[in-house]
């Protein structure tokens, strides 16, 4: 069990997919079916897991390049998004322990931020489905960013909007790229090992799930 003192921080920032919401597996499934159904490319679950944290477009760019194909990554992203949004509305749910974790976050009275590589539309669908639309003071999506994780741009923007120095921000992340982004921003990062194959060794501390965390 990990416990931290709220007085050590000025703001809390969370990743969404795979940290709070159980949507990364769903997202990966749709990536796989999009590659298969539209491009006749077989992508394994292991390949998807290794690239979790990349933007959807960057994922397709990497897949197409590895097969020496010249397809449009933007068109692939649009095809994937259509099916992903449909399934999100029906299937999005909390990660284990995330519901109680969110109740604990509310009690801290610290400003809460969300930094996600997902689009505004996807974030909105997930937050509405989980009934936490009004939880976060600041939401940073891929639309506001020029650079993606592991670049720290998203976390630095969230800290600025939350009026908190980066060194006084507490971050919860579940992917290698996300953890590296938080550390590159100079923040204290808790790595949540929801995906066994993710290397979270650069996190300040690691948990197996959010049930292992408490505030004091």
Tens of pLDDT, residue by residue over 48-76, are 988 877 788 889 999 999 999 999 999 99
Does this model's pTM top 0.85? yes
> Residues 25-59, buried b or exposed e (16+ Cβ, 10 A)?
bbbbbbbbebbeeebebebeeebbbebbbbbbbeb
Q: Which of 91, 113, 135 is the last residue of a domain?
A: 91
Distance CA 108, CA 106 (A): 5
Q: Return the SS3 of 206.
A: strand
What is the three-class DSSP state of 185? coil
Residues 209 and 126 in one domain: yes
Count the domains in the chain.
Answer: 2
Same domain? For 15 and 53 the reply is no
At 162 the pLDDT is: 98
Helix (H, G, I), strand (E, B) or coil at 139: strand
pLDDT digit string, tens, across residues 81-102: 999 999 999 999 999 999 999 9
* 117 and 205 housed in the same domain: yes
Strand partners, 206: 191
Name the domain boundary from 91, 116, 144. 91
Per-residue pLDDT of the chain (216 residues; tens, 9 = 90+): 788 988 999 999 999 999 999 998 899 999 999 999 999 999 999 999 888 777 888 899 999 999 999 999 999 999 999 999 999 999 999 999 999 999 999 999 999 999 998 999 999 999 999 999 999 999 999 999 999 899 999 999 999 999 999 999 999 999 999 999 999 999 999 999 998 878 999 999 999 999 999 988
- 116 and 51 within one domain: no
Map residue 51 onto helix, strand or coil.
coil
Which CATH number fits the domain that encloses residue 33?
A: 1.10.150
Range of the domain at 32: 24-91
């Amino acid at each position: 069990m990990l416990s931290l003192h709220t007085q050590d921080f000025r703001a809390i920032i969370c990743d969404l997919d795979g940290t709070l919401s159980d949507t990364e597996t769903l997202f990966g499934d749709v990536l796989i079916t999009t590659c298969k159904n539209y491009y006749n490319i077989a992508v394994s679950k292991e390949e998807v897991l290794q690239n979790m944290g990349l933007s959807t477009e960057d994922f397709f760019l990497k897949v197409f390049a590895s097969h020496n194909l010249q397809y449009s990554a933007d068109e692939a992203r649009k095809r994937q998004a259509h099916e992903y949004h449909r399934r999100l509305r029906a299937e999005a749910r909390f990660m284990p322990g995330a519901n109680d974790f969110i109740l604990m976050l509310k009690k801290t009275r610290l400003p809460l931020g969300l930094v996600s590589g997902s689009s505004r539309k996807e974030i909105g669908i997930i937050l509405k489905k989980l009934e936490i639309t009004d939880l976060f003071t600041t939401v940073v999506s891929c639309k506001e960013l020029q650079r993606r994780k592991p670049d720290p741009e998203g976390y630095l923007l969230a800290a600025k909007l939350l009026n908190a120095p980066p060194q006084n921000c507490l971050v919860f992340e579940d992917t290698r790229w996300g953890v590296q982004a938080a550390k590159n921003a100079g923040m204290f990062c808790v790595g949540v090992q929801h995906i066994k194959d993710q290397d979270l060794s650069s996190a300040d501390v690691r948990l197996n799930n959010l049930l292992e965390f408490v505030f004091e």
